[in-house]
Structure 1
């Protein structure tokens, strides 16, 4: 890259709108799959808790998917979901999120002490009320821990989607490499890191608000 400065601030200032648009797009294609994964992981986790034989096959399936290279999965999906579409990127990212969220959901639900369940039943709680008022709140620390890992991983992996036409901030990496121009690369790295840090901080705050007892227990130990 010769004597090219690492960052041309005039380029950054003149492309603020462009960078903002890529950041919003990146947040959408990376975080929406995590939300979808959570909505799928909770009922699957409940089934796996009730019917233990389901857990190992499902966990093995998602672990195999998680081990597949993201770019290869994107390319395989192109004939079915199209090039440069959200589905091509979001379907694999949802599966990757499930590989993280399913085990943490099951662990959280299994961590509820049986005497607590029995006490709730004795107080007249039906299965659904017990689930909403006792089991899911007790599983919140596990769920939020899984969400933090899944969200940060998804934000990182979404950049690869630029190679198949939908990658948010990943376009900055491609643009910089193709033009041997480091400024977009640096801007992309900073924005991806910032999005990951902000997302993680928001989820950590949500965990503390939703499960304040977990923090007190950690301090007590």
Structure 2
């Protein structure tokens, strides 16, 4: 059914292995999605809060961006290792916190940039209608900044999907579980590795497409502006 070359006496890809592990594949795929969604949700909430303060206090934005940048360059395994004594080796929290911190740099920068790109005359019109600073942000600026925010969310989502595989070292790696097991077995299992890598790529493409479609649906004016 699927012509594959043999490697060391073992086929490169075995459909029978996939069939035997189908339930586990769906289970790990679900875990991957949950970890990604949780990290993005936490990162987005924190980023919106930090961005709201940053838009009022420019000095705070510099500090927030520097801090987020510092967190972004911390190796993922190092971040997990630091948290293990406090949250446990196989804890969901241990896996999610570093994943969420890696989204902050991208999201904070995009939210602030998107809001700053809102035309000045739009702000002045809203203020003239009696909008408070908070109402202006939530009802005018953030909605208009949505295309830029969604663009950042797409980058953060794809990045997070890739990083989730690393949490397999904690026993929480979603599809990374298959990559780790395929490498660590006495006889490397290429099928397991291909399943883990392949589904991670497919998931990233699907999530990116869904966010793109969501952005077009939530901000239809951006389509009209792009077509001009």
The answer to whether 1:201 aligns with 2:209 is yes
Structure 1 segments (4+ residues) deviating >3 Å: none
Cα distance between partner residues in 2 of 1:64 and 1:95: 10
> 1:31 touches 1:154 (CA, 8 Å); kept in 2?
no
TM-score (norm 2): 0.93
Alignment length (residue pairs) = 220
Q: Greater relative contact order (Cα 8 A, min sep 6): structure 1 or 2? A: 1
Match of 1:116 in 2: 122
Match of 1:45 in 2: 51
CA RMSD of aligned residues (A): 1.1
Match of 1:156 in 2: 162
Stretches of structure 2 lacking an aligned partner (at least 5 in a row):
1-6
Cα distance between partner residues in 1 of 2:135 and 2:55: 17
Match of 2:222 in 1: 214
Paired residues for 1:63-212 under 5 Å: 63-179=69-185, 180-212=188-220
Tell me the CA shift for residue 208 of structure 1: 0.2
Paired residues for 1:53-64 under 5 Å: 53-64=59-70
> 1:62 touches 1:99 (CA, 8 Å); kept in 2?
yes
TM-score (norm 1): 0.96
